[in-house]
Amino acid sequence: MQQPTSTLVPTYYFPPAPPKVPPRVDEWPMPTFRLRVEDLTHPGAQLFFEHVNPVQALREAVLAVFKWLYTTETVPRHVETVVLVLRSMPGAAHTSGADIYKEIHFSLEHIANNASRAKDEINGVLVHEMVHCYQYNGMGRCPGGLVEGVADWVRLHAGLKPPHWREGGGDKWDAGYEATAYMLEWMEGKYGFGFVRNLNLTMRDREYEDAMFKEHTGRKISSLWKDYRAYVDESRKAGKA
Ligand SMILES: [Zn+2]
């Protein structure tokens, strides 16, 4: 039998839960926001302005990232400018840029294709992309699936999961997106609030290695994945019973 996890995990891994009332917006290091719309006549652009206030949406996305991945003490202050570019392109969105300057490219077609739930989809994608503006990536060595999983995990916590997301997808721990996000959420529940936040912070100054999971949970990522799959199977069985 396995020992209870509480004996394996030092308590200092888990900082206290964040305050119920988040810090005031002006106390957080908000970047300058810019907006570029490459086709104002596109139906996606019309939906965007009909459903969201750009400044408010970008601010709330930044606050969601700060709230779930950082504290007032650890919040990154290096991002000076975030540019949102609404344009015609394949895919949903992507983010690029250097430390101080980030560009989020957001597909107008993607907005138009989600017209019936445009507000939630726009805000959800903005939160996901904003995570990429601020998350740490273990000196560029973090698996892409984990980078995407952390982004969707914050989106999940921001209450902006799209209707098609289901717990228990993916055939490996770093399958990415919501598959990895739900596994991280299971780990957060098992190993305590702050697990994902601490994993992200661990990747600030160190090259990513799988052993980081063991540092935070006492278990190898391969065993964690096995346990998560067992949990998913159990939940499915229980759901069918
Ligand atoms: Zn992404």
- The alpha carbon of 129 and the centre of ligand 1 are apart by a number of angstroms equal to 6
The reported pLDDT for the residue numbered 6 is: 41
- Regarding whether 93 and 42 lie in a shared domain, the answer is yes
- Local mean pLDDT, 10-residue blocks, the chain (241 residues): 42 48 72 98 98 96 95 92 98 96 98 98 98 97 98 97 95 97 96 92 97 95 96 88 49
Give residue 28's pLDDT.
Answer: 83
Distance between Cα 65 and ligand 1 center (Å): 13
Query: Are 162 and 84 part of one and the same domain?
Result: no
142 shares its domain with 129:
no
Q: Quick one: 105 and 128 in the same domain?
A: yes
For residue 155, how far is its CA from the centre of ligand 1 (angstroms)?
Answer: 11
What is the CA(93)–ligand 1 centre distance, in A? 8
Rounded to whole angstroms, the Cα distance separating 120 from 233 reads 30
Q: Which residues contact 132 (CB under 8 A, 6 or more apart)?
A: 95, 102, 147, 151
Question: What is the whole-number distance in angstroms between the Cα of residue 162 and the centre of ligand 1?
Answer: 15
Enclosing domain of residue 232: 138-241
Show which of 81, 108, 134 is a domain's final residue. Answer: 134
- Residue 3 maps to a domain: no
> Is residue 130 a contact partner of residue 66, using CB atoms and an 8 Å limit?
no
Residue 7 lies in a domain: no
pLDDT of 1: 44
d(CA 70, CA 140): 19
**Rounded distance between C-alpha atoms, residue 98 and residue 86, angstroms:** 20
The CATH number linked to 91 is 3.40.390
Looking at the structure, do residues 104 and 127 belong to the same domain, yes or no?
A: yes
Together in a domain, 208 and 227 = yes
Distance from the CA of 3 to the center of ligand 1, in angstroms?
36
Of the chain, the end-to-end C-alpha distance in Å amounts to: 27
Spell out the SS3 assignment of 200-233: HHHHHHCCCCCHHHHHHHCCCHHHHHHHHHHHHH
Tell me the three state secondary structure of residue 151. helix
Inter-helix orientation angle 195-205/54-69, to 10° = 90
- Residues 97 and 26 occupy one common structural domain: yes
* Tokens read off for 225: 């994945």
- Domain boundary (134, 150, 170) is at 134
In angstroms, what is the span from residue 39 Cα to ligand 1's centroid?
23
For ligand 1, the distance from its centroid to the CA atom of residue 156, given in whole angstroms, is 13
Domain identity same for 90 and 191: no
User: What pLDDT is stored for residue 19 in this prediction?
Assistant: 52
CA of 4 to the centre of ligand 1 (A): 35
Domain count, the chain: 2
Q: Any idea what DSSP says for residue 39? A: -
Contact 146, 209 (CB under 8 A): no
Six-digit token string for 232: 């998913």
Q: Give yes or no: residues 91 and 40 share one domain.
A: yes
Dist. CA 240 → ligand 1 center (Å): 33
| pLDDT value of residue 152 | 98
Ligand 1 geometric centre to CA of 94 (Å): 6
Give me the sheet containing 81-87, strands edge to edge: 32-37, 81-87, 101-107, 93-97
